[in-house]
Amino acid sequence: MIKEVIVVEGRDDVTAVKRAVDAEVIAVGGFGINKRVIDRIKEAQKRQGVIVLTDPDFAGDKIRKIISKRVPDAKHAYISQKDGTKEGDIGVENASPETILRALENAKVEVKEKRDEFDIQDMIFFKLTGDTNSKERRDALGKELGIGYCNSSQFIGRLNNYGIGREEFIEALKRIDAEIEKRNG
């Protein structure tokens, strides 16, 4: 399990990285990188550290520079154009799992034990799944914790991969419940 959160450009890159390593991965959506994504990357850097792994081309370099400017302490992993090219297409998604692993090792990736503090029972108990307001609660809690919105199984992964403790989780839930109650009268 990789401690740092790996930042890539798109969904195909996420798939390629997950074939190589067990890690939390954020896709920035190419040049569509926005404040919400940058905030998630900043939160990941604060909690676990970040490794940027973008395509070995002009666009990848530009995205890397945008992230570096806003998250200066991020680590960087690189693959060569040769290792990231398949049938004329350049990108992380074309790199072999061995190439991706080598790039991450060169970036001095940290390994940690897989954490499973949270599970589906927590999602059910705290009404983050299986309830009429689950989606709204996950969205609000994701914003409160800085881990973003996602489905319940991804939410469990983010809670565990970002190192969120039970006390922090419960305090954040109390804040969002108070906010929702205030809004609903």
The ranges assigned to domains in the chain are 5-106, 120-184
The pTM of the full predicted model, rounded to 2 decimals, is 0.84
Residues 103-147 have pLDDT tens digits of 999 999 988 888 889 999 999 999 999 999 899 999 999 999 999
How far is Cα 147 from Cα 139, in angstroms, rounded to an integer? Answer: 10
Report CA dihedral (11, 16, 143, 127) to the nearest 10 degrees: 100
Range name among 125-129, 172-176, 180-184 with the lowest pLDDT average: 180-184
pLDDT at 33: 87
178 three-state secondary structure: helix
pLDDT at 51: 97
Averaged pLDDT of the chain = 93
Q: Where residue 62 falls among pLDDT bands split at 50, 70, 90?
A: very high
CATH code of 5-106, in short, is 3.40.1360.10
